[in-house]
A and B are shown apart, each in its own frame.
Chain A
Amino acid sequence: MEPFILGLGWLGVFSPLALGAVGSIIGCARAGQAACGAILETEGGYGRYIGVSAMPSSQVIYGIVVMLSLNRLFSLETAPGLFAIGFLVGLALMFGAVYQGYCCASAITVAKTKSEAFGISLAPAAIVEGFCVFAFVFALVLARSLPGGGG
């Protein structure tokens, strides 16, 4: 049982980065495809399409920070907590990035047709980002309360 619990601890430590990366890959790919489609149809302003398509990459950065904050010498006492925090924040980041990719793809489609609505069309993506930031910040706060976390 011990190795299993310690294994879960390792899983929890690496989950934020791995799941965040998976989400960012999917989100950026989808938004990037929309950007490529918009480039086909428009005569200029390509930079902003590509810029928007990179928005879902922030989740992998949050994942790296959470992973570093969870990385410590861990024991049977701390491994379940590390797993719970790391795995759940990883899931939140992954889904956040995937769905932010949808929002960015839609924003690109809107911006292509109606450039004056470019800013407001990004609001849904920003809201999704807000939820990811919540998950990220409170994962850091909780990580400090685990033994060996300096809290």
Chain B
Amino acid sequence: MPHAYVTLIASLPHLPHFTRAERLPISRKRLRERLGMLHPEDFELVQRASQFLAWQRQPVARSDADMVAAYRKLHVLIEHPSLWPLFEFPINVRTVMAALRRRQRGLPRPQRGEPWAVGPWVDRLPRHWEHPDFHLTAVFPWIPQAREYLTAGAALELERFLMDLIWQHVERVAPGYEFSLQTVLAYIFKWDMVQLWLARNAAAASQRFEELVTGVLHDFGPIFA
């Protein structure tokens, strides 16, 4: 338990589950300031984690080949004992979902060497292309549910379901009551998920905006009255 983690983790506010969060409990700027407590080598791992999180948010216009190429550059950086257990699962989720989407669109089975996805399952999935769940339900029991959402076109439910899977995974790998670098990285990961969810939740964003505007107008109201 290196010393820097204890103060840092104790100084981070509680992150509620992304579906229950009404706002970010800590701003990006303040989070970055707090991360300044880390040793330089740990901070460098945080930077790598940020690169991974950025990779996950590729623009829609970017092709699969570009994604794979970007991942190959990133892979060397995230294959670290502190990072890989956290990031392997989201990568697998992404790969399986890519396979499900591809099959749903009626695209052919990926050819060997074709840059269609990343991660350790990328070669195995095409081998079981005909099976609805790729014979992987023992490893990924969530595939049937995700497939149902995808077939039904329930995009929001699917997104919530997948994000919740990843959230649970991150909490399992690095519980919040521990004081380790992984807990710090897990916090950043979850913070990013909360931010992403809030940004997508237009209703909550609109309500927050209304509150802010009302607060400002209320303060200045008497001046103009």
Given the known interface contacts A30-B1, A106-B177, the answer about A37 and B14 at a Cβ–Cβ threshold of 8 Å is no
Given the known interface contacts A33-B6, A105-B6, the answer about A110 and B177 at a Cβ–Cβ threshold of 8 Å is yes
Q: Mark B144-180, 1 if CB is under 8 A from A, else 0.
A: 0000000000000000000000000000000011010
Interchain CB contact (< 8 A) of B11 among A30, A40, A105? A40
B7 at interface (Cβ–Cβ under 8 A)?
A: yes
B199–chain A nearest beta-carbon distance, Å: 24
Contact A109 B177 (CB under 8 A): yes
Q: Mark A91-111, 1 if CB is under 8 A from B, else 0.
A: 000000000001001101110
Contact B7 A34 (CB under 8 A): yes
Q: Which of B3, B6, B13, B176 has the most CB atoms of chain A within a 10 A radius of its CB?
A: B6
A67 at interface (Cβ–Cβ under 8 A)?
A: no
CA distance A30 to B180 in the complex (A): 13
Query: In the complex, what residues of A have CB within 8 A of residue B34's CB?
Result: 40
Query: In the complex, what residues of B have CB within 8 A of residue A30's CB?
Result: 1, 3, 6, 179
Contact B11 A38 (CB under 8 A): yes
> SS class of chain A's interface: helix, strand, loop or mixed?
helix
Contact A33 B177 (CB under 8 A): no
Residue in A closest to B26 when the chains form the complex, CB atoms? A41
Query: In the complex, what residues of A have CB within 8 A of residue B3's CB?
Result: 29-30, 33
Contact A35 B177 (CB under 8 A): no
Q: Mark B3-38, 1 if CB is under 8 A from A, else 0.
A: 100111111111000000000000000000010000
Contact A41 B6 (CB under 8 A): no
Residue in A closest to B10 when the chains form the complex, CB atoms? A37
Interchain CB contact (< 8 A) of A113 among B1, B6, B7, B14? B14
Residue in B closest to A34 when the chains form the complex, CB atoms? B10
Interchain CB contact (< 8 A) of B179 among A35, A38, A40, A105? A105
A17–chain B nearest beta-carbon distance, Å: 25
Interchain CB contact (< 8 A) of A41 among B1, B13, B176, B177? B13
CA distance A36 to B9 in the complex (A): 11
Query: In the complex, what residues of B have CB within 8 A of residue A40's CB?
Result: 7, 10-11, 34
Q: Mark B124-146, 1 if CB is under 8 A from A, else 0.
A: 00000000000000000000000
A147–chain B nearest beta-carbon distance, Å: 43
A110–chain B nearest beta-carbon distance, Å: 7
CA distance A30 to B176 in the complex (A): 16
Residue in A closest to B14 when the chains form the complex, CB atoms? A113
Contact A34 B13 (CB under 8 A): no
Contact B14 A38 (CB under 8 A): no
Query: In the complex, what residues of A have CB within 8 A of residue B9's CB?
Result: 34, 37, 109
Residue in B closest to A29 when the chains form the complex, CB atoms? B3
CA distance A69 to B219 in the complex (A): 69
- Chain A residues with CB under 8 Å of chain B are 29-30, 33-38, 40-41, 102, 105-106, 108-110, 112-114
Knowing that A34-B10, A38-B11, A109-B176 touch, tell me 11 more A-B residue pairs with CB under 8 angstroms. Answer: A29-B3, A30-B179, A34-B9, A34-B179, A36-B11, A37-B10, A102-B179, A106-B177, A108-B10, A110-B177, A113-B14
